[in-house]
Amino acid sequence: MKDLRRDRAVFVGAASSDLVKAIVLFGSPGSGKGTQAKMLTQCLRVPHISTGDMLRDRIRSGSEAGTAMVATMQSGALVPDLVVNEMVKERLRERDAARGFILDGYPRTLDQAGRLSEWLAGRGIHEVVIHLAVDYNVIIARLTGRRLCPRCGTLYNVSSHPPRVEGVCDRDGEKLVIRDDDSEAVIRGRLDAYDRQTRPVLEYFRISGHRVLEVDASDGSPETVNRKVCQMMETA
């Protein structure tokens, strides 16, 4: 994988001359956002900030257990903007995000996009928006076959990226699980929420003059898609 750390053309300096690598990854559920974010985080050495993971962590740690958030996420609907905006704002203030970050799953609504734009503009940071475009039927097939290691977070797919031993994580031997919101009915709900609430956010970025890099992520291995993403970033 090509080292993008020297790719100065892509990232614009913050208040100082330091580079801030701010990437916003867009794509419907099942577009491979999480996988691409993990690959990018390794080559750019900036944290992967996934609002879905952060919300699930909150539930697991007990701070939100039994609250309306659990039901909202299980139904595939979106958690209120107020909660997510506050959570992301706090996270972006952490030390490890000072040199950049990869946002995965945020912003998902126009309200969130407005908050993020304000926050970034106030710091002179120009984000790179990447849209992973994937065909609807491919998404359904991917999501229903998705398996997750609950310990290390590695994602598998029963058809396109199976573990070496069925049902078991290659890395740590943990038993793989299906996420609660990966059932077909919930998947359709999540795709619907994406269409209604998140697609307009992409439009917002486009019409407000942000450069949106369109990447065809319908076929090819995660490595192939990653190469496409890196190539587009080099020429952005």
Report, as residue numbers or ranges, the catalytic residues: 33, 108, 146, 179, 190
d(CA 230, CA 236): 10
Shortest gap between Cβ of 6 and ligand ADP (angstroms)?
30
Q: Which C-beta is closer to ligand ADP: that of 77 or that of 168?
A: 77
Shortest gap between Cβ of 234 and ligand ADP (angstroms)?
26
| Helix, strand or coil, per DSSP, at residue 133 | strand
Contact 164, 154 (CB under 8 A): no
Q: Which C-beta is closer to ligand ADP: that of 175 or that of 188?
A: 188
Shortest gap between Cβ of 54 and ligand ADP (angstroms)?
8
Contact 225, 32 (CB under 8 A): yes
Shortest gap between Cβ of 222 and ligand ADP (angstroms)?
15
d(CA 203, CA 64): 32
Q: Which C-beta is closer to ligand ADP: that of 19 or that of 190?
A: 190
Contact 158, 185 (CB under 8 A): no
Report the interface residues with ligand ADP, using CB under 6 A.
29, 51-52, 55, 72-73, 76-79, 84, 105-106, 108, 112, 181, 190
| Helix, strand or coil, per DSSP, at residue 82 | helix
Q: Which C-beta is closer to ligand ADP: that of 19 or that of 40?
A: 40
Q: Which residue is nearest to ligand ADP (CB)?
A: 52
CB atoms within 10 A of CB 48: 21
Name residues whose C-beta falls within 8 Å of residue 144's C-beta, 6 or more positions apart in sequence: 182, 184, 187
